[in-house]
Amino acid sequence: MNKNDAPEALLAAASMARPMTRNDVTELVVEAKIKQGLTWDKIAATVGASKEWTTAALLGQMQMTKEQAAAAGKLLGLSPYAVLLLQQVPYKGSLPTAVPTDPLIYRFYELVSVYGTTFKELIHEEFGDGIMSAIDFKMDLQREADPKGDRVQIVMSGKYLQYKTY
């Protein structure tokens, strides 16, 4: 071993201490996004999908195709192994606690706690006994100008799935 090779060898040995996980990739994505001054819109345009889906995928909630992962990896400077991890089926719904502690995420938890029975009742009245899919699903998030203070507009559209008798 050459004396100049020592730092690389130490880095290689340190990286072998623990295999990279999907959560590690998320941290790398966020770090690269911040360092490069990127927006989710810009990353999504490179990936070729909506900003909502791309954000969910890069935060570890969706599986990317080989092409999508390669495009994201190139833009964000990810390693080949990180790009492979973006293509794996993720463990979805992986918040760190059962009741979210982040104030923004908690508001969605609160929204479902307060309006969940209303959503359920109105969907059942309109469609029957079934559910709204989070698999065949799309979402759009926009800023809505309002003189009293801008509002967050979220439109969610999920396929209705009827329960079957068997």
**From 15, 79, 94, 133, active-site residue:** 133
CA distance 14 to 48: 35
For residue 41, give every residue at least 6 positions away whose Cβ sits within 8 Å of its Cβ, in sequence order, or none.
51
**From 8, 15, 31, 107, active-site residue:** 107
Residue at token pair 């009827």: 162
**From 110, 113, 121, 151, active-site residue:** 110
C-alpha pair distances (Å), 85 with each of 30, 33, 77: 15, 18, 14
Residue at token pair 């079934």: 130
**Is 133 considered catalytic here?**
yes
CA distance 88 to 39: 24
**Is 18 considered catalytic here?**
no
Q: For residues 64 and 47, is the Cβ–Cβ distance under 8 A? A: yes
**Is 31 considered catalytic here?**
no
Based on its alpha-carbon atoms, the radius of gyration of the chain, rounded to whole angstroms, reads 21
Q: What amino acid positions are annotated as catalytic residues? A: 107, 110, 133
